[in-house]
Amino acid sequence: MFTGLSAFPLTPLVDDHLDEIAFSALIGRLNRAGVDSITALGSTGSYAYLSEQERARVAHLAVENAGDTPVFIGVGALRTSQVLAHATAAQRAGAAGLLLAPMSYQPLTEADVFELFRTLSEHTDLPVIVYDNPGTTHFTFSLDLYRRLTELPGISSIKIPGVPALAAEAREHVAKIRAVIPEHVSIGVSGDASAAQGLAASCDVWYSVIGGTLPELALRITRAVQAENTTEALAESARLAPLWELFAECGGSLRVVAAIAEQLGLAQRSCLPLPILGLDHSDRARVAACLIRLGL
């Protein structure tokens, strides 16, 4: 189940409330596009900003609109008891798996993070994805912590940050992780710009930001690698370089993907939770030009 393309949709807001219509439509679109799974309430889904009630509602809408596509739900929170409450709600909504990042305010130790995952794995029957995203959590996993966590029952996948740009280095990087974790645990690459390289380097799944809004683009890369046509996958990723440049230069993938969704009419203007401001006028013009250049 934790293979192929897992698409991370936005959770669009309108006037600081869930835009249920836009969110449901995004999910239906992903199901029709044929992604392998949908991860709602990832970082791209603004999980960290939403209330317990909003998150339960999003989980419900995701499952309701996903058809037969498995839905994973992000359950991260600053406090362990909040994580468990989100997990209970996700399970009740019909989630097929849970995604957990060690969100931090006070810096966390390895012991804190191990206990957090151990507590969740004891609390739920659902498979759990370990979400390693140091750019937002400010926690860095060691290989040894990967090893200890994947010995816990139910830990089924690790979402790793982007891999090195050079093929040999990417392979070595993924092989190092593979060497310390059990075979049944999948490795998923994130960092869209290096995803083709990551899949080519034996990652099992792409946890994809762009796949949540422009699923066809991400599917083309994923299916090429699955057909062992690495050259085509890398060429397709290179074609999307203008997009990866926007991610790097306009304050990160979330703000850019939100602007794309707004530009394409998939979300209303200012769909991100404040204080996160959307892109300014000139960056929006860059996004619009990029979409035209890519034939969207």
- Which residues contact a second copy by CB under 8 A? 16, 43, 48-50, 78-81, 102-103, 105-109, 111-113, 115-116, 119, 135-136, 138, 251-252, 254, 273-277, 280
In the complex with a second copy, which residue's Cβ is closer, 241 or 274? Answer: 274
Give the nearest distance from C-beta 12 to a second copy in angstroms.
15
Give the nearest distance from C-beta 1 to a second copy in angstroms.
27
Give the nearest distance from C-beta 214 to a second copy in angstroms.
20
Tokens, residue 41: 């309430």
Give the nearest distance from C-beta 277 to a second copy in angstroms.
5
Q: Residues 40, 7: contact at Cβ < 8 Å?
A: no
Tokens, residue 249: 């230069």
Query: CB neighbours of 214 closer than 8 A, spacing ≥ 6?
Result: 260, 296
In the complex with a second copy, which residue's Cβ is closer, 28 or 252? Answer: 252
Question: What angle in degrees, to the nearest 10, is found between the helix axes of 20-33 and 52-65?
Answer: 40
Tokens, residue 35: 């992604």
Which helix (H) or strand (E) element contains residue 230? helix 230-239
Strands 128-131 and 155-160: parallel
Cis peptide before 275 (omega within 30 of 0): yes
- CA dihedral of 254, 90, 4, 104, whole degrees rounded to 10: 50
Tokens, residue 4: 């192929």
In the complex with a second copy, which residue's Cβ is closer, 115 or 228? Answer: 115
In the complex with a second copy, which residue's Cβ is closer, 32 or 138? Answer: 138
Give the nearest distance from C-beta 210 to a second copy in angstroms.
17
Q: Residues 158, 176: contact at Cβ < 8 Å?
A: no
In the complex with a second copy, which residue's Cβ is closer, 107 or 295? Answer: 107
In the complex with a second copy, which residue's Cβ is closer, 43 or 222? Answer: 43
Give the nearest distance from C-beta 32 to a second copy in angstroms.
29
